[in-house]
Amino acid sequence: MTMTDKLGLILENRGPIKKIGVLGMGYVGIPAAALFANSDKFDHILGFQRDSKSSGYKIEMLNHGESPLKGEEPGLEELLKKVVDEGKFKCTPDFSRISELDAVTLAIQTPFSDPASLQPDFSALTDGIRNVGKYLKEGMLVVLESTITPGTTDTLARQILEEESGLTAGEDFALAHAPERVMVGRLLKNIQEHDRIVGGIDEASTKRAVELYSPVLTKGKIIPMTARAAEVTKTAENTFRDLQIAAINQLALYCEAMGINVYDVRAGIDSLKGEGITRAILYPGAGVGGHCLTKDTYHLERGVATSEGTLDYPEDTDSIFVLARKVNDFMPKHMYHLTKEALKRIDREVKGSKVAILGWAFINDSDDARNPPSEPYRDLLVNGGAEVLVHDPHVLNYPGVEIIKDLDKVVEGADVIAIMTGHSGYFELGPEQLKQLTGKENTIIVDGRNVVDPDTYISNGFVYKGIGRGDKNDHPIV
């Protein structure tokens, strides 16, 4: 009897999955746990959260049916209240209760401590896996939902779980990777409607993981594959998105140098419809932030660097994926260069100027400020001797940076207004209103998200700079 047959038998004898645990009560774990609890296929869901100083507060909030996630998450608050009131979901710091469960998922952050040396910081993930290993029982399923370096499920995770439990993966317990594909602001919708990649270390593990995720999908379908293929799928889909953004950012820089409007070019390219995704063209901007695109390339790079096989790749040639990272990481610096050039046009310099940054969140209409492109831009200005104030309608606070809600206070007396995030409210702003606040004859506006109409601002005496707007960036100053 093969290992997987033995596991298949154990899982069959154990019966259908009824009790599930979710480790990591964050943007991925909380909606996932709520949807598991809302399914009549499952009896009871435990959310595991360490009772730490920084995030222990989540336990009580969740057990009152309240979402600790900031920002708008349609349907989540109601669903949490429902499943808590029904007694189907409970949050606990007691990891020993893992032993009473049929399946456990881990949705824990996997940042990179040093992208250059491709060193990820797996400390939180490893702690979580070790906690599961301690209470792992025969016939249980363990699923990693975090985005991880290809190979992690079948090496690091397997080793720790076997070490802690004394059991064998693929023989005594099932192990799989089912990467999250959620975006803030639509967490529940994404989990239910996106297809779900599910990859086990063996067939029995894949089959068991398919049983776990099928009930929560509405429009999405399950796409089964091996654990490593699932790891590559996730890291590669974000790497491809980052590459697509880098391509349009590079084109935007070219358009500036050639004195043309990147949005004309984009509309032109975009007109060649059909025949698949390759013709999809994204949007240039002030940078790429967030917890995903900024690191998943390095997970993919580390995956191939640590794989057993030999990579056949042109000699002395950088990975285009890493180059894409460098182009996207350059965009906040480009915003700084545009700001300097604009100040020079009115015989001013960064030193002593007052800059109003509009937008700290990494993405529009969200409070998510993980790896915000605004931060390197602000650092360059502050190091250059500018006084910088930051406005964001959604972000509550950020270490070392005062986030001001009063836009007038931020723009008042400013020499430069820099738009770093495309929040909807900024599209409502007008040149007269802003000019009144700055009180300047020639206020500078640097648009990093194509929010304002250059001509409207230029005709009101603004000095305009926009990413990709080579057709306007050297306009005559009115």
Per annotation, catalytic residue among 234, 340, 354, 435: 234
C-alpha 270: how far from chain center: 26
Could you identify the residue written with the tokens 């824990």? 108
Residue 133 in tokens:
């290993």
Nearer to ligand SAJ, 145 or 211 (CB): 145
Per annotation, catalytic residue among 88, 292, 295, 465: 292
293 lies in the binding site for ligand SAJ (CB under 6 A): yes
292 a catalytic residue: yes
Nearer to ligand SAJ, 144 or 363 (CB): 363
Q: What is the DSSP letter of 99?
A: G
Let me know: does 381 contact 388? Beta carbons within 8 Å.
Answer: yes
Residue 247 in tokens:
């391509």
Let me know: does 281 contact 265? Beta carbons within 8 Å.
Answer: no
Nearer to ligand SAJ, 66 or 237 (CB): 237
By CB under 6 A, which span of 7-15, 33-41, 46-54, 278-286 interacts with ligand SAJ?
278-286
Q: How far is the CB of 74 from ligand SAJ (least distance, A)?
A: 16
298 lies in the binding site for ligand SAJ (CB under 6 A): no
Nearer to ligand SAJ, 285 or 393 (CB): 285
> Which positions ≥6 away from 185 have C-beta within 8 Å?
71, 72, 73, 74, 365, 366
Q: Binding string, 134-163, against ligand SAJ, x = CB under 6 A?
A: -------------x----------------
Could you identify the residue written with the tokens 């989990």? 191
C-alpha 348: how far from chain center: 37
State the Cα–Cα distance between residues 248 and 431, nearest whole angstrom.
Answer: 28
255 a catalytic residue: no
Q: Which residue of 156, 183, 382, 404 would you call a contact of ligand SAJ, by CB under 6 A?
A: 183
Total of chain residues touching ligand SAJ, rule CB under 6 A = 19
288 lies in the binding site for ligand SAJ (CB under 6 A): yes
Q: Which residue of 4, 110, 165, 238 would you call a contact of ligand SAJ, by CB under 6 A?
A: 238
Q: Which residue of 115, 151, 285, 393 would you call a contact of ligand SAJ, by CB under 6 A?
A: 285
363 lies in the binding site for ligand SAJ (CB under 6 A): yes
377 lies in the binding site for ligand SAJ (CB under 6 A): no
Which are the catalytic amino acids? Answer: 234, 292
Which spans of this chain sit near ligand SAJ (rule: CB under 6 A)? 147, 180-183, 237-238, 241, 245, 282-283, 285, 288-290, 292-293, 362-363
